[in-house]
Structure 1
Amino acid sequence: MTNLEARPDEQVCVAGPAADVQLVEPRDVPLGGPRAMTVRRTLPSRARSLVGPFCFADHYGPDDVAATGGMDVPPHPHTGLQTVTWLFEGAVLHRDALGSEQTIAPGQLNLMTAGRGICHSEEATPARFPGQPVLHGVQLWTVLPESARHGDRAFEHVADVPRLTVDGAQLQVFLGRLGGVESPARAYSPLVAAQVDVPAGARVTLPVDPAFEHAVLVDAGALRFEGHDVPPAWLAYAPPGRDALVLEAGDAPVRAVLVGGTPFDEPMLMWWNFVARTHEEVVEARAQWQAAIAGDPAGPGRFGEVQGYAGPPLPAPELPNVRLRPRER
């Protein structure tokens, strides 16, 4: 997925401390389509830039694709990150510069590693999937550490992620390790990501790594997380130091996504779809993408080219005229 904001902020992201649970309110961002499908973004936000290496979280649906047009994101570039696609309902077709063409369904993982550069497209429209009227899921990004961010691009599809049960809650671990099970997907930092389904009225004590900071993004239901009420679509953050997290459901079942990892301590700057370390790196990546989509005689170069998508690539927004100040911790 891409960030389609016309004037995206340039953000210097830091792993800021928090004494206790912190609640992050989502903001609505139009993703695109004939009537603009809207996503709810909690990372990055003014309240929090990162949770472990997770630097981006979009939550969308349940969306009536017949009414909104669904998701139709033209080829666009990424650097320095992994894109993590996880669905609750519907289907998305992914194409990328490696030649990957993969439809993802609920309970499956699409994981794309940008490395130095890649481009991809995503489609979930009525024309593409006429039998899938609803689209509902999350898109996450993780920042790659210095040791991996200049590496090769890659794509993985995990058709069956590991599952476990804790205090009656059903967990699907699609990245990292949790409760003794581990996703086969490749990660470059210590982290975890899992769907957590809590039955109505249940209280779940979830063992976690105390070196990790964690957050839960609530999809449905009334969740009480570590003694704090978390509304649907909000994100609740807990700092490192806990060896267990307590999740409680009200009168209805709760579905949430848990993410976490060791605090990311490298400098990191994110603008549009680029994760870098300096302003100059972002300027260079943008210039190379613009040259490639304008028909650079040298070819697609750094980002490669998506085959099979019916439409032109997505141009980059204009860069800001000034640098933004780093956020305070």
Structure 2
Amino acid sequence: MSIETSQIELDCDVDKGCNAIEIIIQPRAKDLGDFSVRRTLPTKERQMVGPWIFFDHMGPAHFPAGSGINVRPHPHINLATVTYLFEGEILHRDSLGSLATITPGDINLMVAGKGITHSERERPEVKHIDHTLHGLQLWLALPEKDEEIDPAFYHYPAANIPQTHINDVAVRVLMGSAYGLTSPVLTYAETLYVEAHLQTTQTLVLPNCEERAIYVAKGGLKIKDRVIPEFAMVVLSAAEGVEIEATEETRIALIGGEKMGKCFIEWNFISSRKERVEQAKQEWLAGNFPQVVDDVKEFIPFPTN
């Protein structure tokens, strides 16, 4: 997903926590016309959690027939995008020739490496009827040694993502290892991405890792005596045995992994090297990025604001 502005850090309300909680980030919805996005990473107070550097919550957006997601071709470098849907579908195309429809429960992993261009649209049979889109798109910063690898695209069907129940709580391990399960999704650094669906009063002890955060995609939580509202992200401390309790039916995403070095960000470009970001910007302005196969009639220009 690409927001057509150079402003990377969208407005958020930040609350300093204590004990198990470092900060609570409450994003403000950014209206993109037909739908809205809530961005909790990066913020001025927190750029990354483990290797995760972008966290966008799309929708839920309800589209009438004839409208829908229509993200024109745009570029990336030195990162990997991870798309996961709760409802609806997205049609992915890229400059490698990849063509994939992501549906709820699937994982799309697009590795930009030294450079890739992609678009995110919808199949005509979806766009011609009333429909809904709801999901998460996250960006992973690649380790320095992997920043300039060849671009690649991987699609993992929902059936291949391991799932279990922990004290009756439905859990899916989307990336990394937790609760005795290991996801098949490729990682480049120590990475954790878990989805859980809790009913009212159910509890779940969170797995440990060097850095981690929990996002409330639906519902609400308590951590000790602290109430966490819907759409908030809680950046957690290194405390072990942190337990969450659902105050209503709740869906959460847990992200984390190893601490990474500082990244430089401008628009859709991130890198450990500021000069590499500027180089990518100039390449896009000059039209030197590869084109999306079968989607060459339009593109997103580099934003001027």
Asked whether the two chains share a fold, i.e. TM above 0.5, the reply is yes
Partner of 1:272: 267
TM-score (norm 1): 0.84
Q: Does 1:179 align with 2:175?
A: no
Code of the residue aligned with 1:77 in structure 2: it is: P
Report the alpha carbon displacement of residue 172 of structure 1 after superposing the two structures with TM: 1.2
- 2: distance between equivalents of 1:189 and 1:226? 31
Superposed counterparts of 1:249-264, under 5 Å: 249-250=246-247, 252-264=248-260
Residues 79-88 or 280-289, more deviating: 280-289
SS across alignment from 1:147: helix
Report the alpha carbon displacement of residue 67 of structure 1 after superposing the two structures with TM: 8.3
Code of the residue aligned with 1:304 in structure 2: it is: P
- 2: distance between equivalents of 1:230 and 1:127? 39
- 1: distance between equivalents of 2:227 and 2:130? 33
Query: Percent identity between the aligned chains?
Result: 34
- Judged with a 3 Å threshold, the aligned counterparts in structure 2 of structure 1 residues 99 and 18 are, in CA distance, closer, same or farther, namely farther
Report the alpha carbon displacement of residue 137 of structure 1 after superposing the two structures with TM: 0.5
Unmatched runs of 5 consecutive residues or more in structure 1: 10-16, 293-299, 320-329
Partner of 1:237: 235
Partner of 2:13: none
Partner of 1:248: 245
Code of the residue aligned with 1:246 in structure 2: it is: E
- 2: distance between equivalents of 1:276 and 1:226? 37
- Judged with a 3 Å threshold, the aligned counterparts in structure 2 of structure 1 residues 7 and 197 are, in CA distance, closer, same or farther, namely closer
TM-score (norm 2): 0.90
Report the alpha carbon displacement of residue 18 of structure 1 after superposing the two structures with TM: 8.0
Report the alpha carbon displacement of residue 127 of structure 1 after superposing the two structures with TM: 6.1
- 2: distance between equivalents of 1:38 and 1:171? 27
Code of the residue aligned with 2:244 in structure 1: it is: L
Partner of 2:303: 317
Partner of 1:194: 194
Q: Is the 8 A contact 1:212 1:241 kept in 2?
A: no
Report the alpha carbon displacement of residue 241 of structure 1 after superposing the two structures with TM: 4.0
Partner of 1:308: 294
Partner of 1:324: none
Report the alpha carbon displacement of residue 49 of structure 1 after superposing the two structures with TM: 1.0
Deviations 1:183-209 (A, max 9, x none): 111111101111110112212223x13
For residue 291 of structure 1, the aligned residue among 279, 286, 295 is 286
Q: Is the 8 A contact 1:24 1:48 kept in 2?
A: no
Unmatched runs of 5 consecutive residues or more in structure 2: 10-16
Q: Is the 8 A contact 1:117 1:153 kept in 2?
A: yes
Superposed counterparts of 1:143-222, under 5 Å: 143-159=141-157, 160=159, 161-206=161-206, 208-209=207-208, 211-222=209-220
Q: Is the 8 A contact 2:198 2:246 kept in 1?
A: yes
Code of the residue aligned with 2:190 in structure 1: it is: P
SS across alignment from 2:114: coil
Code of the residue aligned with 1:185 in structure 2: it is: V
Code of the residue aligned with 2:175 in structure 1: it is: L
For residue 103 of structure 2, the aligned residue among 105, 120, 123 is 105
- 2: distance between equivalents of 1:152 and 1:291? 21
Code of the residue aligned with 2:26 in structure 1: it is: E
SS across alignment from 2:270: strand
Q: Is the 8 A contact 1:213 1:240 kept in 2?
A: yes
Code of the residue aligned with 1:57 in structure 2: it is: F
- 2: distance between equivalents of 1:213 and 1:236? 11
Q: Does 1:136 align with 2:134?
A: yes
Q: Does 1:29 align with 2:24?
A: no
Partner of 1:228: 226
SS across alignment from 1:195: strand
SS across alignment from 2:70: strand
Code of the residue aligned with 1:313 in structure 2: it is: F
- 2: distance between equivalents of 1:269 and 1:19? 30
SS across alignment from 1:71: coil
Q: Cα RMSD between the aligned structures?
A: 2.3
- Judged with a 3 Å threshold, the aligned counterparts in structure 2 of structure 1 residues 318 and 37 are, in CA distance, closer, same or farther, namely same
